[in-house]
Chains A and B, each alone.
Chain A
């Protein structure tokens, strides 16, 4: 219980401080979350959903927390001046776990669309926040969610009202910035009303070469006929640990596409819980992981078909180099009576070296008979014949290998509907494989890393 203890002690000692820098809606669930965390402790590897990542180990080091919400000096634009060519987005920043109010996009969003600090939203729109906050992300079911709920003080709130289409993509850049090892607890609440449409792009970046531990809980409510594209792009560094729990609830005839792209990281665990609440809804959940050295990426998904006539599609691809470890566990649950469900789950993995390890676990749990469900999973290497074919035609082995790898993950990238982002990602992935600058060229680090700029 040693890992848990420091968080339990911390909460008991600084509960008043945490609450004083947060909003009532967030404080209301804190005690329950604390009890749930204390009861569960960090999930051990015997807990099926945490089989491949030892949480206690990740949370054991001593990180600082910015509980009194001190302003950490940062100029987001100097850190991150992202310009995906031909992609004009409404750009927001979240520094550590605080919504950055000083720089807001110049172009205004369509009428009624709101992007703001969660703490502020709890005060301005209590009707939207209360009754939704911490409802999907049940603290009783998951210790990490409980921990986040217990410590989260602020985050991001996005609301797209009924029938509104946000044409311009909303981009949120999460910047980790600190001079000491830091833990951040980010919280995001997204509410899509009936018929609303939006595209969201979350980019995770770290500005400093410190040890970071970030927990993140994203709750997404998607109303009837609403449509949401949610892209999460992680480009941090080897000292970064990220634990993200995403909860999505879809009403009838809604459409969600969720892409998780891990280009560079330390240890990452992404959990997705998606629930179909109304018939006729669809989701596409895709993931692309490129990992080398000692990086670890663990994607865990649960698609819960509670009602019939819904379609789910999952496609996850991993390329593991060095002694990277990848894990994918995807569970599709078709509940009793959820007839006419279609579900397709695919996980394909490339192990490029002997030391790379892959764990995969595509699971189907089906309690209804009139369904079409399939899953497939492979682990293998590049096709020798294809490599040979290219070499025969004068493409050197290294290049040929890279081309094949590119094509391999290309399938996931091609699913991205935001065209400029798609092109950008193709480029980024290519750079990543070339071992060149893995990160967006737009990103300028506040402090160059030891070996000149980006060492990735």
Chain B
């Protein structure tokens, strides 16, 4: 089945994959090997006779749903202290980290799942998930990476060969629980930038990791953060030293492959004084009938005068059109603007996942610090999203901007939930929030839950939101000029989301636009 599925997908990708082929993470052109192409064409010709292929392609909305056949070392299902110890042992971790995990695990056992979100998380059996899957365990001897894995990432449009890569982007590719490869490490190291998987960082830079790990998102923060702290596996570690402007964009690409596993990556970014970095994140998963859990933690520390840009294009498998399967995306992301004049900006394009429940947040601790949050969340079919941000103003003269655009279609539910808090010390805090929702269809929902807690008389906080559908006038105008309705919707939606897309690094933006139109295909009509 896997084999068949994977072949079919390859075909689909080839057929769709003209010059404007859509890639998930976006930066990367799909580079098909000739062999693949031949296979695809062959398969194509065989099936075209009964016209089924065309249908298949037409229904093939999620392009990255294939699986990779690679021998993966999966630890037994279940979660207990022994499993936590086993994960730690497999990663060869020092004692303090094991202690951190165990503390988190013990705390997690005292918690119960939160229920307050505007999402319906299906019951998760935490004992029925395997918490560690290593596709690298049985790699062929004389090769750095298993060719299968390389092929997979190629297919996703992420060449791990540096010569193929677009200049200016270093990639950390992570499959299941393990970082497959991190590119351009050497070039970055010359500048003093540390870019590696967090597992390697624990070994190479234990002091840095120990100092910052859990300092932004403590393990007691919430249910999934506690779980993540107990069982986390590879994510990226980035350290930008003082005064360094990172010479290229850094990115990580997350891929879930193995069955019955979850992904629990942990990312830690530290921008020291006067530094700058732009970090991108992309993700995909195979199509499976059961839900897969993704509970990540991202911590960002921004010191004096430093700036961090964090962009996400989230395209986990959203489940099929009947709401079966899909990734449960329960992520804790938080940045701490510790230094004066520090700046953090989150940009996210959320198109995938059956359930998205996350609030990338900023703690504006340093005086004059600034934070931005730009988000486009698209839900279709039976997807549910409850996402937004938290802006905690603590320093003086802090500023934050929130621009959120929700688009719901099908039977989906899309919620913005955000908190703006100005503490009593946050003199002259300034916030502007704008949350718009667009409804495409009469069965979907769009919700806005903004919270504002203002404890300071010099704070100025504004929130506004609108909810509407695409006006018939706009559609008519496009139709009149020969643009079919479906394209017109794409056009209007892109225009609507432009405020946010403009904030993405350019190539990301192009791909994100295409992703938007794909996610919304079939919503008109």
Q: Do B450 and A363 touch across chains, with their CB atoms under 8 A apart?
A: yes
In the complex, the chain A residue whose C-beta lies closest to that of B461 is: A379
Q: Do A354 and B447 touch across chains, with their CB atoms under 8 A apart?
A: no
Judged by a CB distance under 8 angstroms, whether B517 is at the interface is no
Q: Do A363 and B454 touch across chains, with their CB atoms under 8 A apart?
A: no
The interface stretch among B284-292, B464-472, B501-509 is B464-472
Judged by a CB distance under 8 angstroms, whether A362 is at the interface is yes
Beyond A369-B441, A378-B461, A380-B461, whether A355 also contacts B424 by CB under 8 A is yes
Q: Do B440 and A369 touch across chains, with their CB atoms under 8 A apart?
A: yes
Beyond A368-B442, A370-B469, whether A379 also contacts B448 by CB under 8 A is no
Q: A361-B451, A376-B464 are in contact. List 8 more A-B contacts (CB 8 A).
A: A358-B452, A359-B454, A364-B448, A366-B447, A367-B443, A370-B442, A375-B448, A379-B454
Judged by a CB distance under 8 angstroms, whether B84 is at the interface is no
When each residue 414-454 of chain B gets 1 if its CB lies under 8 Å from chain A and 0 otherwise, what string results? Answer: 00000000001000000000000101111111111111111
Q: Do A366 and B442 touch across chains, with their CB atoms under 8 A apart?
A: no
B519 to chain A, nearest CB (A): 17
* Residues 451-501 (chain B) with a chain A CB within 8 angstroms: 451-469
Contact of A377 among B118, B441, B452, B460 (CB under 8 A): B452
Number of A residues with CB within 8 Å of any CB on chain B: 36
Q: Which residues of B contact A352 (CB under 8 A)?
A: 457
B188 to chain A, nearest CB (A): 44
* Residues 367-388 (chain A) with a chain B CB within 8 angstroms: 367-381
A243 to chain B, nearest CB (A): 22
Q: Do A351 and B469 touch across chains, with their CB atoms under 8 A apart?
A: no
Q: Do B454 and A357 touch across chains, with their CB atoms under 8 A apart?
A: yes
Q: Which residues of A contact B454 (CB under 8 A)?
A: 349, 351, 357-360, 379
Q: Do A377 and B462 touch across chains, with their CB atoms under 8 A apart?
A: yes
Of all A-B residue pairs in the complex, the 4 with the closest CB atoms, nearest first, are: A369-B439, A351-B457, A380-B460, A376-B464
Q: Which residues of A contact B469 (CB under 8 A)?
A: 369-371
Judged by a CB distance under 8 angstroms, whether A414 is at the interface is no
B114 to chain A, nearest CB (A): 11
Judged by a CB distance under 8 angstroms, whether B116 is at the interface is yes
Q: Do B452 and A359 touch across chains, with their CB atoms under 8 A apart?
A: yes
Question: How far is B459's CA from A324's CA once the two chains are assembled, in angstroms?
Answer: 16
Q: Which residues of A contact B463 (CB under 8 A)?
A: 360, 362, 375-378
Number of B residues with CB within 8 Å of any CB on chain A: 35
Judged by a CB distance under 8 angstroms, whether A57 is at the interface is no
* Residues 256-299 (chain B) with a chain A CB within 8 angstroms: none
Q: Which residues of A contact B450 (CB under 8 A)?
A: 360-363, 377
Most buried by A among B116, B452, B461: B452
Judged by a CB distance under 8 angstroms, whether A365 is at the interface is yes
Question: How far is B433's CA from A378's CA once the two chains are assembled, in angstroms?
Answer: 10
Residue pairs across A and B with Cβ atoms less than 8 A apart, 21 shown, are A48-B116, A351-B456, A352-B457, A354-B456, A355-B457, A357-B453, A361-B449, A361-B451, A364-B448, A367-B445, A369-B442, A371-B468, A375-B463, A376-B463, A377-B464, A378-B460, A379-B454, A379-B459, A379-B461, A381-B458, A381-B460
Q: Do A373 and B460 touch across chains, with their CB atoms under 8 A apart?
A: no
Q: Which residues of B contact A380 (CB under 8 A)?
A: 459-462
Question: How far is B462's CA from A380's CA once the two chains are assembled, in angstroms?
Answer: 8
Q: Which residues of B contact A356 (CB under 8 A)?
A: 457
Q: Which residues of A contact B461 (CB under 8 A)?
A: 377-380
In the complex, the chain A residue whose C-beta lies closest to that of B445 is: A367
Q: Do B465 and A353 touch across chains, with their CB atoms under 8 A apart?
A: no
B476 to chain A, nearest CB (A): 16
Contact of A359 among B441, B446, B453, B458 (CB under 8 A): B453
Q: Do A366 and B467 touch across chains, with their CB atoms under 8 A apart?
A: yes
Q: Do A351 and B459 touch across chains, with their CB atoms under 8 A apart?
A: yes
Beyond A361-B450, A363-B450, A366-B439, whether A374 also contacts B456 by CB under 8 A is no
Judged by a CB distance under 8 angstroms, whether A337 is at the interface is yes
Judged by a CB distance under 8 angstroms, whether A336 is at the interface is yes
